[in-house]
Amino acid sequence: MKKKAIPEVVIDRLPRYYRYFRSQLGQREKVSSRELADVLSTSASQVRLDLSYFGGFGLQGYGYNVEELYTRIGEILGIDQEQYYIIIGAGRLGRALADFPVFREVGFTLRAIFDNDPQVVGSRIGGVQVSDVAQLAGFVRNGQAGFAIITTPPEAAQGVADILCQNGIKGILNFAALDLNVSPGVAVSNIHLTDRLLALSYWIKEQRKA
Amino acid sequence: MKKKAIPEVVIDRLPRYYRYFRSQLGQREKVSSRELADVLSTSASQVRLDLSYFGGFGLQGYGYNVEELYTRIGEILGIDQEQYYIIIGAGRLGRALADFPVFREVGFTLRAIFDNDPQVVGSRIGGVQVSDVAQLAGFVRNGQAGFAIITTPPEAAQGVADILCQNGIKGILNFAALDLNVSPGVAVSNIHLTDRLLALSYWIKEQRKA
DNA sequence: TAGATTGTTAATCGATTAACAATC
DNA sequence: TAGATTGTTAATCGATTAACAATC
């Protein structure tokens, strides 16, 4: 039984579908690929092909059931199970993410924050106490966190990632301005805010010309 | 004189090249497309094709001059000119971004922060005072800011975007969990943190299976 | 000059869109 | 049943990679 490999771009789009179905919960019973495409500024073909990778969620002549799709896509994304995460770097960005309400809504629970600044260690943020980064390895080794968010300065990020990988972390969301090197089997997603800002800067310049 | 259109993916990669050349300033004189590809985990062909869109920056038998490329890519991205921006939404994320040191290093200057909470208006963040969102329209209309970062709750984001567009903003970096509708001629970049986290969640689950 | 390495074109690969038979 | 709309295959489009002549 061979499964078609699912392209990465499809997975990247999945959260947008999820968001839409979530927003329509209790508002309407069903949606067609055409309507979905209009709302999400994509094509009906793409919607159908994307969703078909995971099995026949739709019904001919009817469309897609909002409640069912919300549940199914949630399962695919792994949101049905509780997920624990930690943050390394208790700077402003780390603290902002610690309190990000959407993360909690979606079932992610913050277990700990780590920092190397003695001034910060011990303070409380987002309901958890900031721990010394010296305790990071043990914490992860004990399986206390499935994934980690790195918000340290770039110089420290690779070292932190090494510790995480050596102790069996499953995934990393990286905000440091460099591309992390991780062990195979560890999922990584880099969010380079500055890069996005620079690309935006280019498009602003282009608009000005046009 | 017709110019080849530059694919969006190429622009998205440009900041990574920029980051690398920047890091090598004063360290080395030149880099070949092969070396660059190894560091950035891409292919030499792609490096050469990407850079060739902007003219012949390289030299056969030599490679690319670090200092020249740093300057040139900076110009292309529009970093040679000072850029002013504002933040709407003085929550934790907005405040974190207000102090983001890399933004300043790269030549972006924060001019103002807006919020609708009277408790927050008047306080100082990142060297600027928080203004009432009622003053947003006038501020933008006077050309005080080239682009805006939206960090409001999703319910408020489209309304803010409308005000920005009506008053001539050039670009928007949106962190609210919805896709903004903007006037033509306004560059938008959406950063959906939750979406990225959800996609990561999928990959973590996949790893576990494998 | 000989070796290195670019810029660019052609070949390949993958993703999106169009079309339509299947079927609710 | 007739109309709507899916799931899927084929056609198209675009992006990446390979190859190589140009040239420093």
Average per-residue pLDDT for chain A: 94
How far apart (Å, rounded) are the C-alpha atoms in residues A173 and A187?
8
Q: Cβ of B14 and A202 within 8 Å?
A: yes
Question: What pLDDT score does B58 carry?
Answer: 92
Strands lying side by side in the sheet with B58-59: B30-31, B63-65, B58-59
Question: What pLDDT score does B1 carry?
Answer: 32
CB of A8 within 7 Å of some strand C atom: yes
**Residue from A87, A172, A198 to probe the interface with B (highest B Cβ count within 10 Å):** A198
Instruction: Considering only CA atoms, name the residue closest to the C1' of nucleotide D5.
Output: A61
Question: What pLDDT score does A36 carry?
Answer: 97
Strands lying side by side in the sheet with B147-150: B124-125, B128-132, B108-115, B83-88, B147-150, B171-174, B187-190
Give the count of alpha carbons within 13 A of A95, CB side only: 18
Question: What pLDDT score does A110 carry?
Answer: 96
Neighbouring-strand partners of residue B189? B173
Entry pTM = 0.93
A107-132: pLDDT as tens digits? 899 999 999 999 999 999 988 999 99
CB-based contacts of A59, cutoff 8 Å, min separation 6: A65
Contact B180, B156 (CB under 8 A): no
Give the three-state DSSP class for A75: helix
The model's confidence at residue B145, banded by pLDDT at 50, 70 and 90, is very high
**Is residue B3 over pLDDT 50?**
no
- Give B22: exposed, middle or buried? Use CB within 10 Å, 0-12, 13-18, 19+: middle
How far apart (Å, rounded) are the C-alpha atoms in residues A195 and A177?
8
Measured between CA atoms, the residue of chain B closest to residue A105 is: B194
Per DSSP, B117 falls in state -
Query: At A43, phi and psi to the nearest 5?
Result: -110, 155
Q: Cβ of B15 and A106 within 8 Å?
A: no
Q: Where are the beta strands (DSSP E) in A71-186?
A: 83-88, 108-115, 124-125, 128-132, 147-150, 171-174
- Measured in whole angstroms, the distance separating CA A13 from the mean position of its chain's CA atoms is 12
A42-95: pLDDT as tens digits? 999 999 999 999 988 999 999 999 999 999 999 999 998 889 999 999 999 999
